Amino acid sequence: MLTEAVIKEKLADLEEQYVEHVIQRFGEWEVWAKASQRIADREEVREDEIPQVFHAEVKMMKVILEMENLGTFDWNNPKLRKIFGEIVKEPFYLFYGGMITAIALRLADIVGGKTFLEIGAGKANLTNIMLQKMRENNKVFPLVVTDAQPVILDNIKGLKDNYPQANLETLLWDIVDTPSDELRSKVVSPTLLYERYTLNYATLKAFENIAQVADVLVLGDWFNHTGKLYAYDEVFKRIGAQPLFFSDVKPLLDRFFPNYYIFDQRAIDAIKLPNITLLIAWK
Ligand SMILES: C[S@@+](CC[C@H](N)C(=O)[O-])C[C@H]1O[C@@H](n2cnc3c(N)ncnc32)[C@H](O)[C@@H]1O
């Protein structure tokens, strides 16, 4: 049975690694938050005024504002595409993906998980990490990968060649809608749902839909627990990333997944980070 005490005991090593990493990586988040206000105010801000770890975000913010100055937003803007390419290769992005998938695998062992469900898989970077982790651990859990966009079908097709042993299914699912009969037929309980940066692009209504097919959640959505937003939050809204407030998420957790554990609480306390970067929730 999954309990907070079991998580603390069985995931202690992962928690230690993750908390250390977050403290190191985001310790100076306030410097970036203040600088982001100056950038938003169109002041000149040199990169060397901001810790190197935030430079990809700085570049992204500057490109979004440049496009805004021109009055047109273009997803295919080469500078924006280049920055997305840089972010997915960043050490934190890879580490974060490794951590989310390692936690999901550990929890699956604890609860006797039968299916993994990934939502908002996009370019399948997180899926790739999960498949790598399963291979390293000699595990072949059924994995159902979904996204609202049909491009997921091609992205997963590409991955299948690299992981011929994987038990992998791909389906389209807009998590704002209730799960289809086809999706329901593919998931066997206990189902572990893991994801990163997806709920921010959907709406909180997604909770009641995912509760219909998932028993345990590993969420990487940066829920804001202070209620205070910074200039970067406001600017990233323009690329569709809506900040989600934990005060809005909590009632939904209480209703659908009444047990939860804030995996990075010690890091939040140590550096006063305004976001919950990793949350485990279960029925
Ligand atoms: C920032 S990407 C994250 C990709 C992936 N989770 C990762 O971490 O590498 C957000 C993804 O969420 C998907 N998405 C956005 N709204 C969605 C919705 N309502 N239902 C399902 N997927 C959605 C997008 O299509 C996109 O692939």
pLDDT in tens, 145-174: 999 999 999 999 989 999 999 999 999 999
Q: Which atom of ligand 1 approaches the CA of 241 most closely?
A: 1
**What does the pLDDT read at residue 213?**
98
In a domain? residue 67: no
**What does the pLDDT read at residue 105?**
98
Q: Is there an atom of ligand 1 within 6 Å of 121 CB?
A: yes
The Å distance, Cα 120 to ligand 1 centre, comes to 3
In a domain? residue 35: no
Nearest to 18 by CA among 129, 92, 105: 92
In a domain? residue 141: yes
The Å distance, Cα 201 to ligand 1 centre, comes to 7
For the cut 80, the answer to whether the pLDDT of residue 269 exceeds it is yes
Q: Which atom of ligand 1 approaches the CA of 152 most closely?
A: 27
Q: What is the C-alpha to C-alpha distance for residues 148 and 265, in angstroms, rounded to an integer?
A: 31
pTM as predicted: 0.96
For 167-212, write each residue's pLDDT tens digit. 999 999 999 999 999 999 999 999 999 999 999 999 899 999 999 9
For 107-118, write each residue's pLDDT tens digit. 999 999 999 999
For the cut 80, the answer to whether the pLDDT of residue 261 exceeds it is yes
CATH number, domain with residue 153:
3.40.50.150
In a domain? residue 140: yes
Residue 264: φ, ψ to 5°: -105, 25
In a domain? residue 111: yes
Q: Per the structure, how many domains does the chain have?
A: 1
In a domain? residue 47: no
Residue 31 binned pLDDT confidence (cut-offs 50, 70, 90): very high
In a domain? residue 180: yes
* Structural domain span for residue 160: 4-25+92-230+239-282
In a domain? residue 70: no
Q: Tell me, what DSSP letter sits at residue 52? A: G
